[in-house]
């Protein structure tokens, strides 16, 4: 039996080693969350058996899950989501979800995918905004016309699946009562949004900002309290807690403006990406059933089909951007849009814990998401670089005869 202290040590050690692991192959940068899942698998019961899958470990994973969704909401800038890019993002995700549902029902009917079709369709219609945004920022294309089109599409690739999970998958009351409770939750969130907008434009924000560097860390505590309140309300109303955490991120994001808001964001990032979020992905790795990947000869076929389906489902909406994207930008746009792991892990965890999905099916989905995060951004970057080289070597009009 593992002691609590030793389990905490191995989880903390995995969290500390994950960023270093991503720096070892200099020609190939592994996303840190993939490293966290891999290290979680190593210390989990299926390999070295250093960490169990119950007790405090489960609690750490749940805390990390709620904070991850809080940070997802925090990353979505509602001021930037408007006009044609937003309309295209919504239309594109709806198209993706319809295509995913169609294929999942087909796969389910022939026995290739045994997970509930709606759950699998939600998983393959996601986009990892938290992974795509930093990649674009590092490449210097975040604020380009390409980035301004891709970010709303990626945001919708997280927001849409969250809405489906919350409304359709796990209602704990009758349809009418569940709808009323959801409306009550929405009204509470809207009230908090109004308060957040009022606070950021009043003297209260200046007073709050003055406490930023003091030991009390009052603004940070307010943000954590808002998250805890909406998560608790979501659980009380019979709504999935992920929507409560996501709504809290949106509320806090609306209140953070100016220099003080940037400092607060950095502090929240430190709490999330330095502590709680790695816990979720490491625990997901601990709970990952590696044996499921070779339990059936169909598993490699399923992974290949799901990878192709990820690219197809999130790639088809590129056709809606015909007039806004050049021919060279469409393929990278599709690869970036098909990059999805965090929500795939979340959806798999929810499906397995609620009994809607078997552990081996969840493992296949997570493995597919890991490969998409490792492969698709690299392919997208290479296509962009090839397009740049092609443009640079094309002769200009004044040099041709």
Give 8-28 pLDDT, tens digit per residue. 999 999 999 999 988 876 666
Is 171 a residue whose pLDDT tops 80?
A: no
> pLDDT: is 205 or 130 the higher one?
130
Say what the pLDDT of residue 25 is.
67
Answer yes or no: are the C-beta atoms of 191 and 149 closer than 8 Å. Answer: no
Provide DSSP, 332-390. Answer: HHHHHHT---HHHHHHHHHHHHTTSS-HHHHHHHHHHHHHHHHHHHHHHHHHHHHHHHH
Q: In the predicted model, what is the mean pLDDT of residues 188-206? A: 74
Cα angle value 234/239/245 (rounded, 5°): 45
Of 60, 32, 227, 36, the residue nearest 130 (C-alpha): 32
Give the chain's length. Answer: 401
Architecture of domain 4-167+274-386 in CATH? Up-down Bundle (1.20)
55: CB partners within 8 A, 6+ apart = 4
83 torsion bin: left (phi>0), alpha (psi -120 to 50), beta (else): left
Contact 320, 91 (CB under 8 A): yes
3-state secondary structure of 219: helix
pLDDT of residue 50: 92
Average pLDDT over residues 139-164: 84
Dihedral angle, C-alpha 232, 120, 158, 230, nearest 10 °: -10
User: Which of 39-43, 281-285, 389-393 holds the top average pLDDT?
Assistant: 39-43
Residues of the chain by 3-state class (helix, strand, coil), percent to 5: 75, 0, 25
Identify the pLDDT of residue 192: 85
In our burial notation (b when 16+ CB lie closer than 10 A, e otherwise), range 48-69 reads: eebbbeeeebeebbbbbbbbbb
Max CA separation in the chain (angstroms):
80
Cα angle 378, 380, 386; round to 5 = 100
DSSP string over 238-297: T--HHHHHHHHHHHHHHH--HHHHHHHHHHHHHHIIIIIHHHHHHHHHHT--GGGGGSST
Nearest Cα neighbor of 93 from 345, 338, 381 is 338
Q: What is the rounded (10 degree) CA torsion for 378, 382, 388, 390?
A: -170
pLDDT number for residue 110: 82
Q: Find which of 125-134, 163-172, 263-272 is predicted with most confidence, using mean pLDDT.
A: 263-272
100 close to 301: Cβ distance less than 8 angstroms: no
State the Rg of the chain over Cα.
Answer: 22
Query: For residues 197 and 255, is the Cβ–Cβ distance under 8 A?
Result: yes
Which one has a higher pLDDT value, 361 or 260? 361
Nearest CA-CA partner of 337 in 146, 113, 164, 169: 146
pLDDT of residue 134: 72
**Local confidence band at 292 (pLDDT 50, 70, 90 cut-offs):** confident
Tell me how far apart the alpha carbons of residues 312 and 328 are, in angstroms, rounded to a whole number: 18
pLDDT of 334 > 50? The answer is: yes
pLDDT of res. 400:
42
Report CA 388 to chain centroid distance, whole Å.
29
What pLDDT, on the 0 to 100 scale, is given for residue 204?
62
CB 381 within 8 A of CB 136: no
């Amino acid at each position: 039996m593992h002691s609590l202290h030793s389990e905490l040590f191995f989880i903390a050690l995995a969290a500390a080693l994950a960023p270093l692991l991503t720096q070892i192959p200099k020609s190939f940068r592994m996303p840190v969350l993939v490293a966290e899942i891999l290290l979680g698998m190593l210390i989990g019961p299926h390999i070295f058996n250093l960490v169990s899958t119950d007790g405090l470990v489960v609690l750490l994973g749940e805390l990390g899950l709620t904070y991850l969704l809080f940070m997802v909401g925090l990353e979505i800038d509602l001021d930037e989501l408007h006009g044609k890019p937003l309309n295209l993002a919504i239309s594109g995700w709806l198209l993706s979800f319809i295509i995913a549902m169609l294929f999942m029902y087909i796969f389910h009917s022939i026995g290739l995918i045994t997970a509930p079709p709606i759950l699998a369709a939600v998983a393959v219609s996601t986009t990892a905004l938290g992974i795509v945004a930093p990649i674009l920022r590092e490449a210097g294309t975040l604020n380009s016309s390409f980035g301004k089109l891709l970010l709303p599409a990626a945001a919708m690739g997280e927001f849409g699946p969250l809405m489906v999970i919350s409304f359709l998958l796990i209602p704990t009351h009758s349809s009418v009562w569940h709808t009323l409770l959801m409306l009550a939750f929405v009204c509470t969130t809207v009230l908090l949004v109004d308060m957040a907008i009022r606070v950021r434009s009043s003297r209260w924000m200046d007073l709050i900002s003055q406490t930023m560097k003091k030991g009390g860390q009052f603004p940070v505590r307010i943000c954590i309290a808002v998250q805890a309140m909406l998560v608790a309300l979501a659980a009380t109303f019979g709504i999935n807690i992920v929507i409560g955490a996501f709504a809290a991120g949106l509320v806090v994001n609306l209140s953070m403006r100016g220099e003080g808001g940037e400092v607060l964001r950095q502090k929240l990032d430190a709490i999330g990406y330095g502590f709680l979020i790695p816990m979720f992905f490491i625990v997901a790795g601990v709970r990952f059933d590696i044996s499921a990947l070779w339990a059936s000869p169909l598993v490699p076929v399923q992974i290949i089909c799901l990878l192709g389906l990820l690219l197809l489902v999130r790639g088809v909406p590129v056709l809606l951007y015909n007039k806004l994207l050049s021919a060279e930008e469409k393929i990278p746009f599709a690869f970036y849009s098909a990059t999805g792991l965090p929500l795939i892990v979340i959806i798999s965890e929810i499906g397995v814990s609620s009994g809607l999905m078997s552990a081996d099916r969840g493992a296949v989905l997570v493995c597919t998401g890991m490969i998409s995060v490792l492969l698709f951004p690299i392919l997208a970057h290479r296509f962009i670089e090839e397009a740049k080289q092609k443009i640079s070597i094309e002769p200009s009009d004044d040099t041709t005869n």
